[in-house]
Amino acid sequence: MKIYGKKRAIARLNAFRDSGRFPHALLFCGADGIGKHVLADYAAMMYMCENRGQAPCMQCRGCRRVEEHTHFDVVYPIPGIEETHKKHTDQSMVGLLREFITGCSVKPNDGDVRVIVFEKLDKLSVQMQNTLLKFIEEPLDFNRYIFTAESRTPILQTVISRVTAVDVDPADEREFTEALAEKGIPANRAPELFGMFAGNIGAALQYEQNGEDLLYLTCALKACDALSARNELDCLKAFLSLKTKDDVFAALGILSDIFAQAAACKTGAGASGAYRQQTGRVAARFSLLAITRMYDEANRLYGMSFTNPNLKLFGAECCGSLFTAAEKV
Ligand SMILES: [Zn+2]
């Protein structure tokens, strides 16, 4: 398993291992394509490795089974949550979740622990998150949790407080170029793609190989840069490029995360996380007060995007409101 970037996330995991206090619930945050699945596998190996001191050794039976996704005690409860959601009502999804939880109360098959990998935690409804909360509040000795989410914004604070959140950094330009070269993309394409996707290897590959643009991601990054450059037209264009309500959600979620990180930067933390370039620019450009207003505004708009039916009008409102929040004296 080759891992590009993610050095800080891996250093954190290794530090947990070395301290002998590995968290019982981890949450990896970052946009699609950033490498959350790779890290989820890496963390699952740490729980399952037979060579504890050097976990993950990536050689032992435990590690190999995790990598092949054939480990009996690494379970993935809700594959394709968005698809499943369309087929089931919220009530029946809660029922499915409860059923799964009950199944996890028996001891693991093979070893001492079971790892439950919950992807897209941010896509679960409030009711489902509350169901899950009871599960992680009083964990059974043998159960460990690995969650992934694109954004923290939709996750209940009560859930966040029970997990150890680890932000997934994008690759730096050298690693990015190397990873793309391995997939046959020439080095002269790398600089443009690096700029477009802020070092997100998966998003760049998807765009370059399948022609699929992660619209919400490019919208959030462009809107953020346009705010920092005071270019309202570019910001508007970014929002108008979105085609679905889910894209609007996702873009606002990312913006909210960027503003939260930028506010942390203002109070002394270094620019970090999946969008550190944008975070750094926002922190350099705006006062803490303006950043806080933009954060509140992004969250308010996020709440509204559940109900607003007209994408274009709403896109224009997002742009206008964020600029007002940025510039109000
Ligand atoms: Zn191992």
Q: How far is the CA of 96 from the centre of ligand 1 (A)?
A: 32
The domains located in the chain, with CATH, are 7-167 (3.40.50.300), 214-327 (1.20.272)
pLDDT tens digit sequence for 112-165:
899 999 988 988 888 889 999 988 888 889 999 999 998 888 899 999 999 999
Secondary structure class of 126 (helix, strand, coil):
helix
For ligand 1, the distance from its centroid to the CA atom of residue 180, given in whole angstroms, is 28
* Cα 70 to middle of ligand 1, angstroms: 14
Rounded to the nearest angstrom, the distance between the alpha carbon of 61 and the centre of ligand 1 is 7
**Of 165, 240, 253, 150, which is closest to residue 202 (Cα–Cα)?**
150
Residue 197, judged by CB atoms within 10 A of its CB (0-12, 13-18, 19+), counts as: buried
Going from the Cα of 111 to the center of ligand 1, the distance in angstroms, rounded, reads 13
Tell me the C-alpha to C-alpha distance, in Å, between residue 4 and each of 134, 184, 323: 35, 16, 36
Residue 68 Cα to ligand 1 middle (Å)? 13
Long-range CB pairs of 217-223, under 8 A, 24+ apart, other chains included: 217/31, 217/32, 217/33, 217/250, 217/251, 217/254, 219/247, 219/251, 220/250, 220/251, 220/252, 220/254, 220/255, 220/258, 220/275, 221/197, 221/254, 221/275, 221/278, 223/251, 223/255, 223/318, 223/319, 223/322
Output the six-digit token pair for 206: 């998807």
pLDDT of residue 225: 93
Tens-digit pLDDT profile for the chain (329 aa)?
Answer: 778 878 889 999 999 999 988 899 999 998 888 889 999 999 999 999 999 888 899 999 999 999 999 999 999 877 666 666 667 777 788 888 888 888 888 999 878 899 999 988 988 888 889 999 988 888 889 999 999 998 888 899 999 999 999 988 888 889 999 999 999 999 999 988 888 788 889 989 988 887 777 888 889 999 999 999 999 999 999 999 998 888 888 899 889 989 998 999 988 877 666 677 888 999 999 999 999 999 999 999 987 766 666 888 899 999 999 999 998 75
* Cα 56 to ligand 1 centroid, rounded to whole Å: 5
The confidence score (pLDDT) of residue 235 equals: 96
The pTM of this model reads 0.77
Spatial contact of 236 and 315, defined as CB atoms under 8 Å apart? yes
Contact 67, 41 (CB under 8 A): yes
Distance 53 CA to ligand 1 centre (A): 10
